[in-house]
Amino acid sequence: MNSSLRIAGALFATVEFSFGQNVHSVANMFRPQATPADSVYNVSMLMLAICAAIFVVVGGLLTFTIVRFRRRKADDPREPAQVYGSNRIEIAWTVIPVLIVLVLGMATARAVVEVQDKRMPADALKVTVIGHQWWWEFRYPDLGIVTANELHVPLSTAAKPAVAALRLESADVAHSFWVPQLAGKTDVIPGITNTMWIDPRQQGTFLGNCAEYCGMQHANMLIRVIVESPAEFERWVAEQKLDATADPRVAAARATFLSLNCINCHTVSGTEAKGTFGPDLSHLMSRTTLGSGMIPNTQENLRAWIKDPQAIKRGNLMPNLQLNSRELDEVVKYLSSLK
Ligand code: CUA
């Protein structure tokens, strides 16, 4: 009871918190802000238009028939003459649907080809997206940056186009990477590398979600794409490239952290913590959320998460390390210093 209340509170906090910082509406594919999302949007509108036309024709004929040929008092009670077969009608209801399917199929194929065959410019920002149960790892191979759950990319403008080329891989089961305002869903499949690209033309935070059922916390495998001006992006890159801050004021807390099992699963650059099962923590404080977008990254939430990750995100791979309250304080203190 207590923990479900806490989760409800956390979710509420997330909603409140989301509105604070220029977050674009969740899962809204009707406001595309990148070229691949435009393609999806255009095909969807064509489909909707054709389906609407069919609905109007069928619904209209049905209504007309019901009204025009309704039973009247003066009607002859005997069954009217029955008509069997009409070549003209049968040809029409075969040919018209075939043509509609053909048009929709070709429009879809064209959109797929447009997105898939796009040549990546030489200066495209390369990002490897790795789906894990239940979080996202983002690696920038050319920049030497590893982060989690929040993908930073530069804004693309007509004067300075910027494409982020994504390679999608899975560390375990099938996932799907979907940020509706930026691109179509792309499956993330073990043993297969898929690709997608985005060229966002609006700044701010775009929300997405894993779109392929991948286990208990599938719904909490959230994505944030943070689109920044080129200057802001460069600043973020420069900060992420640095080794984790070695603030002498937290030396004792750092020693405690490094003495615990945390380091078997997490990396903190410039320390002996080199684990790769969990998210890289080198610049944890540069991220706005914890638990792959579940809760805002505050000291309180961080402490609650480390104290009992299972109470917040049941089934996730981080165990309850049974830390005592001094250890908890120290770990939170150290992690909070990782800007
Ligand atoms: Cu990952 Cu659903």
CATH number for 112? 1.10.287.90
98 & 197 share domain:
no
296 inside domain: yes
Task: Name the residue range of residue 44's domain.
Answer: 35-71+85-116
Domain boundary among 220, 240, 260: 240
Residue in the block written with tokens 């908890």? 328
pLDDT in tens, the chain (339 residues): 445 544 544 444 444 344 444 565 566 888 999 999 999 999 999 999 999 999 999 999 999 999 998 888 888 888 888 888 899 999 999 999 999 999 999 999 999 999 999 999 999 999 999 999 999 999 999 999 999 999 999 999 999 999 999 999 999 999 999 999 999 999 999 999 999 999 999 999 999 999 999 999 999 999 999 999 999 999 999 999 988 887 888 899 999 999 999 999 999 998 989 998 999 999 999 999 999 999 999 999 999 999 999 999 999 999 999 999 999 999 999 999 998
148 & 198 share domain:
yes
Distance between Cα 222 and ligand 1 center (Å): 9
Q: What are the DSSP calls for 65-95, one per residue? A: HHHHT---TTS-SSPPPP----HHHHHHHHH
95 & 155 share domain:
no
**pTM of structure:** 0.84
108 & 130 share domain:
no
Q: Does 318 contact ligand 1 (Cβ within 6 A)?
A: no
pLDDT of residue 142: 95
C-alpha angle 4/10/11, rounded to 5°?
A: 90
Nearest CA to ligand 1 atom 1: 175
Overall number of domains in the chain? 3
Q: How many CB atoms lie within 10 A of CB 142?
A: 9
Residue 282 in tokens: 């080198």
* Residues with Cβ within 8 Å of residue 161, at least 6 apart in sequence: 121, 199
Contact present, 153 and 163 (Cβ < 8 Å)? no
Q: How far apart are CA 80 and CA 336, in angstroms?
A: 83
pLDDT of residue 151: 97
pLDDT of residue 18: 46
286 & 270 share domain:
yes
Contact present, 109 and 148 (Cβ < 8 Å)? no
Ligand 1 atom nearest to 221, measured from its CA: 1
Amino acid letter for position 11: L
8 inside domain: no
Distance between Cα 313 and ligand 1 center (Å): 14
| CATH number of the domain residue 299 falls in | 2.60.40.420
289 & 218 share domain:
no
Distance between Cα 136 and ligand 1 center (Å): 9
